[in-house]
Chain A
Amino acid sequence: MIRCANLAKSFRRTRVLDGVNLDVAFGERLALIGSNGAGKTTLIRCLLGEYIHDGTVTIDGRSPRTERTAVLGAIGFVPQLPPPLKMPVGQLIEFSASLSNADPQQIDRIAERLGLPIDAVRSRPFSRLSGGMKQKILIAIALGRDAKLLILDEPAANLDPAARRIFFDLLAERQRDTTMLISSHRIDEVAALVNRVIEMDLGRIVLDDKVADDVSLSGRFACRLVARRADAALARSLEAWHFSADAAGLVWNGEVAGPDRLRFIGVLSRYVALIDDLSLREVTD
């Protein structure tokens, strides 16, 4: 699906990509991780045909630079930072759907599933929406078309737990017929979403590893937490994950999306001294 051979890119004298060789097969879910300046965004921009470079990049055997329309027609992209577009949300959806030959109503439906009341924001300028709303729109545009390759740059960073769970469901629905490349600074943010990890550092691939793929993207974990004492900060955090407590505020129950469990445990780690008991049990339908 994706083939990079000896891919190199320099900005003036700075070598940002240094001989990257990468083969990604159809259906793989790839985490692209690395610190700032590792070369993740540059690699993504080369895949999107936005940068000129040395070496070769092909997607399905085609160059994204010289065969832009054909290649990009099959790619759904979510950028890390939403662009400051002044146009109304409705027009952005119409514009991108029209270019991609997608059904704008499908984009609307995905935005609604992510918890965004699309009719209420349709006439609002995109740049005036909250970070989470913008992210939902961009995800809906990327997933609302017939994309064979999804390139997602920190896609869930601005989403609340409920929207993240639906986002994972949406990815799960596409995983059989889509290759995914998900970029992140941290492995724990994306580990549960992927089956292969590529770590970059100083423009090179320093790790290429498979990931245990035991929990499906749409998996759920029932969680029960017993607190030593009632605590307002812990309660706020758990309520953000839609947990409910008993009358004393000590026993909390809720559900966590499979791919989100590392993030959830990361949140709990702040309150470790308050936790008496914790269980996570996979829910089977």
Chain B
Amino acid sequence: MKQLWLTARLDIVESLRARWFLIYTGVFGGIVALLFVFGLTESRVLGFIGLSRLLVTYIQLTLAILPIFVLITTVRSVAGDREAGVFEYLLSLPVGLGAWFWGKIIGRYLVVFAPVFLAMLAAVLVGLLKGIEIPWGVFAYYTALIAAMAACFLGLGMLISSIARTTDMAQGMAFMTWLTLLLFLDLILLGVMIQGRIAPEIAIGIALANPLQVFRTAALALFDPQLIVLGPAAWVILDNFGATGYRIFALVYPALLGLLAAGLGYFIFRRGDLP
């Protein structure tokens, strides 16, 4: 256990000093600041106003940015550390492989989750100071959604880092993973369904398997239970799950997917060459 926390702490310290972390923090902090600066809380779109409007915009932007950011930075730093000899040295110290791998994941998870959450928390605190009504339920669910999203893409990133032997290959695989998930968002699925080339069950299955789609649907379903702004694929999914059931699924499934990917990554890591 001591080795695990030492490794987690080490990864946090390394990340806090990395350039990617500064950019990452700046992006999410900047988004919240910009949303306030441009008066988003005062504008009304699709019935949303106040902090609800800000949060729904923030989560949409997070959905677009966080997955690719987490994937690329994770594989770059892990594969980069391996190439640069960091693994050779640190793994020559008496640390268990399990403690090393999972400690790295815990440290990285905190570093990835904290800036996104803190930016959202800052928005809530500013809202409180300005006397804006706080949608606490939405805030809590979005926090859980970001936590699940970070776990999902961190797990995928660690799996890719275990498979790829070079930084270039790892980056390529991460980008292709993100692109594949992006291609199976509801607009493309809708197009396929309209053409009638695949069974609706398959389309629903793809949408349910795609964590990006799951997050997107869950984030919007909180405000739009009638699915006015969502595509038909999301509508079919909600029809099968129910609103509450889907909200739970949207948290559990991606978190499990991330955990499974990380577990598979660990299995590959401990069976192969370490540096």
Contacts and interface: CB of A to CB of B under 8 A. Distances in A.
Nearest to A69: B94
Interface string A62-98: 0000001111110101010111111110010001101
A interface: dominant SS? mixed
Interface stretch (A17-25, A44-52, A158-166): A44-52
A45 B14 contact: no
Given A77-B89, A87-B10, A98-B2, A68 B94 contact: yes
Contacts of B3: 69, 99
A98 B92 contact: no
A125 interface: yes
A72 B85 contact: no
Given A45-B275, A125-B17, A83 B88 contact: yes
Contact of A100 (B17, B18, B93, B272): B93
Nearest to B92: A77
A275 to B, nearest CB: 40
Which size bracket describes the interface of B in this complex?
20 to 34
B18 to A, nearest CB: 7
Contacts of A71: 94
B271 interface: yes
Interface string A25-54: 000000000000000000001001111100
B88 A69 contact: no
Contacts of A52: 271-273
A95 B88 CA distance: 16
A52 B268 CA distance: 12
Interface of B: 2-3, 6, 9-10, 13-14, 17-18, 84-97, 271-275
24 contacts: A45-B88, A45-B275, A48-B91, A51-B275, A52-B271, A68-B96, A68-B97, A69-B3, A69-B94, A69-B95, A69-B96, A81-B85, A82-B85, A83-B90, A85-B89, A86-B18, A87-B14, A87-B17, A91-B10, A95-B10, A95-B93, A99-B93, A99-B95, A125-B17
